[in-house]
Amino acid sequence: MRYTMHTTKTTSAICLKSYLTVILCCFITALRAQKPVRIQHNTAEYIFTYDEIHFLEDASGTLTFQDIRNRDAAGDFSANTGYYPKNIHQPSVYWYKVQVVIADSVKKNQSIIEFFDQTIDDLTVYLPDTSGRYQTTHAGAGVNFSHRLYRHKNFEFQVPDLSAGTYVYYVRVKSLNEINFIMVYRSMERFINYALVEYITYGLFYGMILVFCFYNLLMLLATGLSHYLYYVLYIVSVGVYEMSTDGIAFQFIWPNMPQLNVYMYGISLYCMSLFALIFARTLLRVKRQSPVLYKVINWIIVVRSGYFFICLFARKEWFIYKFLDFIPLFAVFISGLITWYKGFKPARFFVLGYALLFSGAIGKLINVLGLVSGNLAVALHYSMVFGFVMEMVLLSFAIGDQVRLLRKEKKQAQDDAFFHMQHHLRLQAGVNQQLEEQVAARTRQLELQSQEIYEQAQEIARMNKLLEKDNAALKTNIEKITDARITSAALTFEEFSQKYPDQSTCYQFLATIKWNHGFSCKKCNYHNYSKGRKPFSRRCNKCAYEESPMHDTIFENNRIPINKAFYIVYLVFTTKGNISSYQIAEKTGMRQGTCWAYAVRIKNLLEGEKNLSKKNKKSSWTDLIMKM
């Protein structure tokens, strides 16, 4: 009676552990699964972010699409942890995938997939159709503009006919530049509206650049002051840089010369830094105000020029380090502060202009990091453009103020009208100074907050990576210890069940060792197969013969639980047959007669194994499973 109760409790505990193990595995799988995106018939636009995108890095760049699908089936894709994924290692090829649930059927020409980053050199998209076949489309900044589906600065790919269901989109990206993988689903109506508004906005921006250029060229002809020329060259460089990064230049200026996309943004960025330094040096009279600062600016020009020529002729991949141009622009900003501090009033507009430019750059950085969303994210996406516009306006004010200062130095006597005008300017300067102080204080506060948020995010990411490594190492160690104990010493049935807890695990193990060298049909020797009706069985694709993993093993026609049969084989092998059926019955909780019959069968097989030569002698209990 006491023995029966003990056996019942043990069996209940084993079942409870098995259920908990299955639940835990399902929970972990759910956490790692990719989040699908549901597209309704009225979905006008959807931007994929965070864990909706999974990626795989191909360091060799040789994986085919079929290889990628096999790697995906094996679970090799990693979840994206940032707002947008990036190609962290530019020499590698990156594969991205998104899972889309189509609620209603989609007709051809009804929607598109769009990518925002126009600096991607090589972009290949694999879109499934209703039949499940994938359509391959290629684009990129390294291909002539005329090859694009639509004559648009972004990359668009037409979604084929789709019925309701779940689909997986794959994207292959190879780019010399660091890119943000921004993938958008859009309806054609939304795309047309968005494209019109965007091109109108760009038209206004570049129109303003042209207006400022012509105005300052006229002022150059009228006054002969050299800083007007440097200012025109600076804003032209700004315009070319913006056109190179947003794809406008590739569309309208050099559509059949994609190789220029690698160089032009770097050349324009260098010209922008160079002419900004020369313009600041000339406009602010740096040589007179601060000789030391004048030498520093000259050295920055020399070093920046040297770096540019190295990039141009030897290391074009170094053009991607755009952040280095913050050094000359920051030097220009410091020059404005110093000269303003020393009493040169035109520098106030200069400082405010660059302060707004830096604010725009910070806003763009916040948007790239994915710290905001919605309408604010759209506004911050164009904050850099707004900063350039305000900077051009304020630098024009600074130039005008400098011209007025020159006139004041030459003309001592002023009439009443000029006096009132100067008085008005002084009042306006006081208001502007207060605004500048408030903007500068707010800017510093935002910079500190942004830095704190960035540092916290970096620390959290670092801790998560450490925890993932520790968990992986712990899981591996547990499996190794269990395998070692199984092969080295006798275990209790509870300990043995941790390795083989249920029927599914045992069937999977049998299928692995049985078809370790590949599948071959017993009837026709055909090697291709599909899943059978029973768990882990295989059906021949030629003659439809289905073979169970227990066929041709010692467990064929087995009438006892498969995991207990595993344990009996293990006990007989580890004791070299020196175990009684009573001991086996006590350990497994089965009838002694059943244990005796099963043990005799295994002992006979073990005795046959002892007659083999030492070279072919089995070394593990699992080697007894397959019939000789």
Q: What type of residue sits at position 27?
A: F
Q: List the chain residues with pLDDT less than 70.
A: 1-33, 365, 367-375, 377-378, 409, 412-418, 470, 473-490, 609-619, 627-628
What is the residue-averaged pLDDT of the chain? 80
What is the DSSP annotation of 93-155? Answer: EEEEEEEEEESS-B-TTSEEEEE--TT-SEEEEEEE-TTSPEEEEEE-TTS-GGGSSSSSSSE
* Fold annotation for 37-191: Immunoglobulin-like (2.60.40)
What is the DSSP annotation of 312-343? Answer: HHT-GGGGG-GGGGHHHHHHHHHHHHHHHHTT
Q: Which residues pair with 252 in a beta bridge?
A: none
Helix 416-488 to helix 347-368 angle (10° resolution) is 30
DSSP 36: P
Domain ranges of the chain: 1-32, 37-191, 200-411, 493-624
What local confidence, expressed as pLDDT, does residue 6 receive? 39
Q: Where are the beta strands (DSSP E) in 51-108?
A: 53-58, 78-79, 93-102
Q: Which residues pair with 330 in a beta bridge?
A: none
What local confidence, expressed as pLDDT, does residue 64 receive? 92
Give the CATH number of domain 200-411; options: 3.40.390, 1.10.287, 1.10.1200, 1.20.1070: 1.20.1070
Give just the sign of the alpha carbon dihedral 191, 197, 201, 206: positive
Q: Are 450 and 366 in contact (CB under 8 A)?
A: yes
What local confidence, expressed as pLDDT, does residue 4 receive? 40
Q: What angle do CA 92, 94, 98 make, to 5 degrees?
A: 175
Residue with tokens 């919605």: 374
pLDDT digits (tens, 9 = 90+) for 91-137: 899 999 999 998 888 887 789 999 988 888 899 999 998 888 899 99
How many angstroms separate the CA atoms of 94 and 88, rounded? Answer: 9
Q: Are 119 and 175 in contact (CB under 8 A)?
A: yes
Helix and strand numbers, DSSP H then E, in the chain:
18, 14
> Does the predicted model carry a pTM greater than 0.75?
no
Helix 188-223 to helix 383-410 angle (10° resolution) is 10
**Separation of CA 361 from chain center:** 22
What local confidence, expressed as pLDDT, does residue 66 receive? 92
What local confidence, expressed as pLDDT, does residue 473 receive? 66
Q: Are 331 and 304 in contact (CB under 8 A)?
A: no
DSSP 177: S
pLDDT digits (tens, 9 = 90+) for 170-213: 999 998 888 888 899 998 888 888 889 888 988 888 888 898 88
Q: Are 34 and 78 in contact (CB under 8 A)?
A: no
